[in-house]
């Protein structure tokens, strides 16, 4: 029998952050979480690959982070948006950019679909 | 004796905190949101709230998935403002009341059989820090003492809506058995409709948000059996946060006096506010 949480994944276009995803994305999310501390943001800014190595990221994870492939990190890498957004705090990628990419749209296209395009977009 | 005087449901969208710090209260984009909080703040001051209990979730500020508690309550006299990745917001540390927290913990664990993680150190997240400053004065210091109550609405399996409702019932019993004359506002935060994971990113549902607020105010028991799946289908994956409003509502009298309500749906989330007076 599948668990209730896994069943929820049947909602179209919806990725549910389950225990299995949390296990799969553990190193990735832990790396992203670590960026809530300024000294870690500094270390990542100075040498991204070295910092990601120190966090135990796989080559696939490093490649996807460097490519800002948020969609892959979320759909295939077990990434949690609440942690990944902290990578954006260093690289300058905002929530809208991450979201538009998941929808397969440009930021401009996405903004046209909003009621009020706010300047702060978190 | 302790008394619950008010219940508040409020979104905790982080951009509200950014706009607040940038003093954009009068900008055309933000005025419809901030104007909604003014009467709420005035009323809360008028009725003399001394304490708040805030149901919120931590988004990777103090808790990570190494150990992510289902329910964690603060029991400190001061809670530092967290750095979520963008630096520390210019707010005074949140004022606590550890004696009151320990009383709540004793009552919840022993009387209501609600087994919490009790935290003597806790760093505050936007889940709490977005609504608190727009509802209570805080310069130079907070006008209220706060009990933070963090709920896991991030990593499934999540507690059920019914469990949140029961937490509210337990909170009411706990407050009412406190010997001091505290006047408590319970605040349920989060939502309303929004989705951040998956191709349906940006999903919002104003009809559902307004129906939810109607039912929270007038018929909350009709919501206690709602499934996570229904919450996610209607409001988006991250709208499971709305269960925390049920925790707040469970702590109030069955009938309430509706004081104020606001709704604004600009960008990525339905931003809701409801303010209710306890009718007992």
pLDDT of A4 reads: 45
* Residue of chain A nearest B197, judged by CA positions: A15
Residue pointed to by tokens 């931590």: B58
Any idea of the CA torsion for B92, B93, B94, B95, to the nearest 10 degrees?
Answer: -100
- What are the structure tokens assigned to B262, written together? 């606001």
**A3 by DSSP, 3-state: which?**
coil
A41 to chain B, any CB pair closer than 8 A? The answer is: yes
Q: Mind telling me the catalytic residues of B?
A: 126, 194
- Which residues on B lie below 8 Å from A113 (Cβ)? 202
- Which residues on B lie below 8 Å from A116 (Cβ)? 29, 266-267
**Cα separation, A28 vs A56, whole angstroms:** 8
Closest approach of chain A CAs to the CA of B49, in angstroms? 31
Q: Does pTM top 0.90 for this prediction?
A: yes
**Cα separation, B268 vs B266, whole angstroms:** 7
Q: In what order do the strands lie in the sheet containing B145-151?
A: B117-119, B71-74, B145-151, B51-56, B183-189, B3-10, B271-278, B256-264
**Cα separation, B2 vs B174, whole angstroms:** 9
pLDDT of B143 reads: 98
CB contact under 8 A, A114 and B268: yes
CA B197 → CA A5, A55, B105, distances in Å?
Answer: 15, 24, 34
H or E stretch including B117? strand B117-119
A39 to chain B, any CB pair closer than 8 A? The answer is: no
- Which residues on A lie below 8 Å from B192 (Cβ)? none
pLDDT of B280 reads: 84
Query: Residue B118's CB: how many other CB atoms inside 10 A?
Result: 19
* Residue of chain B nearest A116, judged by CA positions: B266
| Residue from B10, B149, B150, B146 nearest B79 by CA | B146
Q: Give the residues across from B83 on adjacent strands.
A: B88
Per-residue pLDDT of chain A (122 residues; tens, 9 = 90+): 345 455 566 899 999 999 999 999 999 999 999 999 999 999 999 999 999 999 999 999 999 999 999 999 999 999 999 999 999 999 999 999 999 999 999 999 999 999 998 865 54
What is the ipTM metric for this complex? Answer: 0.94
pLDDT of A6 reads: 56
Q: Which residues of chain B fall short of a pLDDT of 50?
A: none
**Cα separation, B254 vs B68, whole angstroms:** 32
DSSP B178-228: -SS--EEEEEEE--SS---SSTTTT---HHHHHHHHHHHHH-GGGGTT--H
Burial of residue B112 (CB within 10 Å: 0-12, 13-18, 19+) is middle
- What does the angle CA A54 – CA B156 – CA B88 come to, to the nearest 5 degrees? 55
pLDDT of A62 reads: 98
Q: Per DSSP, which regions of A1-121 are E strands?
A: none
- Provide the 8-state DSSP code for A9: G
């Amino acid at each position: 029998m599948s668990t209730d949480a896994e069943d929820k994944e049947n909602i179209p276009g919806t990725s549910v952050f389950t225990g299995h995803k949390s296990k799969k994305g553990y190193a990735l999310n832990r790396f992203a979480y670590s960026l809530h501390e300024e000294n870690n943001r500094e270390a990542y800014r100075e040498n991204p690959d070295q910092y990601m190595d120190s966090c135990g990221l796989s080559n696939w994870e490093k490649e996807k982070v460097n490519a800002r492939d948020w969609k892959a990190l979320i759909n295939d890498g077990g990434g949690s948006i609440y942690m990944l957004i902290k990578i954006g705090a260093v690289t300058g990628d905002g929530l809208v950019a991450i979201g538009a990419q998941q929808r397969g749209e440009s930021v401009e296209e996405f903004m046209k679909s909003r009621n009020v395009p706010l300047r702060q977009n978190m | 004796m302790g008394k619950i005087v008010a219940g508040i449901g409020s979104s905790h969208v982080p951009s509200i905190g950014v706009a607040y710090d940038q003093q954009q209260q009068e900008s055309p984009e933000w005025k419809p949101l901030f104007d909604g909080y003014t009467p709420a703040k005035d009323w809360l001051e008028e009725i003399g709230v001394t304490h708040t209990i805030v149901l919120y979730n931590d988004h990777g500020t103090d808790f990570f998935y190494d150990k992510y508690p289902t329910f964690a309550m603060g029991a400190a006299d001061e809670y530092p403002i967290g750095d979520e990745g963008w630096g520390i917001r210019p707010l005074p540390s949140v004022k606590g009341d550890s004696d009151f927290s320990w009383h709540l913990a004793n009552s919840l664990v022993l009387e209501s059989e609600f087994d919490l993680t009790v935290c003597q150190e806790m760093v505050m997240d936007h889940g709490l820090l977005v609504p608190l400053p727009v509802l209570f004065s805080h310069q130079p210091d907070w006008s209220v003492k706060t009990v933070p109550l963090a709920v896991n609405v991030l990593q499934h399996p999540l507690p059920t809506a019914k469990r949140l409702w029961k937490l509210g019932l337990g909170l009411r019993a706990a407050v009412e058995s406190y010997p001091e004359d505290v006047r408590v506002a319970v605040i349920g935060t989060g939502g309303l409709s929004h989705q951040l994971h998956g191709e349906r990113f940006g999903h919002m549902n104003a009809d559902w948000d307004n129906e939810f607020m109607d039912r929270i105010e007038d018929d909350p028991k009709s919501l206690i059996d709602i499934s996570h799946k229904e919450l996610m289908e209607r409001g988006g994956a991250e709208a499971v946060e709305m269960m925390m409003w049920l925790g707040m509502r469970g702590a109030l009298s069955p009938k309430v006096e509706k004081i104020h309500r606001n709704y604004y749906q600009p960008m990525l989330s339905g931003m809701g506010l409801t303010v209710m007076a306890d009718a007992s």
